[in-house]
């Protein structure tokens, strides 16, 4: 099928923001907008730090912002976000901060103010209306989990 990507509509949502510098979508269609550090710091091997971004949001009700690592920093330098995905609640009005961790065993990592340290993804979420029952409905998987289907190419329990 021939899809004309130019005619596809990208859905956007208005996000109220207070920011030193706006998060940046590096390419059209990117899911994540990069967040920048407000501070200079050095992360020694194994060290973590709470890093400011200078950004605060008033998210629409029913939305969440997830703070997630940048793959380049992770792959090249072992820099990740400890609690990924960091959850920014719709009601939170404080500065969005990033708990960076240097997982590298030998190399320190230097962050300069203005560096893009993580990215933020906006998503709609459902809140649960918990309905207590005595017995849960059955399912194929049941209580199997934690590797129950194996790890090779063959999937245990697979059916037509
Ligand atoms: O990576 C993150 C994660 C959270 N937050 C902010 C926004 C979020 O709404 C608030 C609380 O986050 P969370 O609920 O994950 O932390 P908690 O340890 O449960 O704190 P609290 O008791 O305040 O809910 O902290 C960030 O700025 N960055
Ligand atoms: Mg919480």
Residue 84: inside a domain, yes or no? yes
Domain count, the chain: 1
Residue 3: inside a domain, yes or no? no
Cβ 67 under 6 angstroms from ligand 1: yes
CA of 88 relative to ligand 1 center, distance in Å: 6
* Global ipTM: 0.99
CA of 93 relative to ligand 1 center, distance in Å: 11
Q: Whose CA is nearest to atom 13 of ligand 1?
A: 87
User: Which pLDDT tens digit goes with each residue over 42-78?
Assistant: 999 999 999 999 999 999 999 999 999 999 999 999 9
Token pair, residue 95, equals: 């500065």
Collect the ranges in the chain with pLDDT lower than 70.
1-9, 159-160
Quote the pTM value. Answer: 0.93
> What CATH number does the domain containing 27 carry?
2.70.40.10
CA of 87 relative to ligand 1 center, distance in Å: 6
């Amino acid at each position: 099928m021939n899809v004309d990507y130019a005619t596809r509509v990208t859905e956007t949502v208005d996000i109220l923001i207070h920011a030193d510098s706006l998060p940046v979508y590096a390419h059209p269609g990117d899911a994540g907008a990069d967040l920048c550090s407000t501070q200079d710091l050095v992360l020694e091997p194994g060290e973590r730090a709470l890093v400011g971004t200078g950004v605060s949001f008033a998210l629409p009700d029913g939305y969440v912002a997830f703070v997630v690592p940048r793959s380049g920093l992770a792959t090249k330098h072992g820099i990740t976000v400890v609690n990924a995905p960091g959850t920014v609640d719709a009601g939170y009005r404080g500065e969005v901060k990033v708990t960076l961790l240097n997982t590298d065993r030998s190399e320190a990592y230097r962050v300069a103010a203005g560096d893009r340290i993580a990215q933020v993804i906006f998503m709609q979420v459902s809140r649960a209306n918990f309905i207590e029952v005595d017995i849960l409905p059955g399912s194929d998987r049941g209580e199997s989990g934690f590797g129950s289907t194996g790890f090779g190419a063959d999937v245990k329990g697979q059916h037509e």
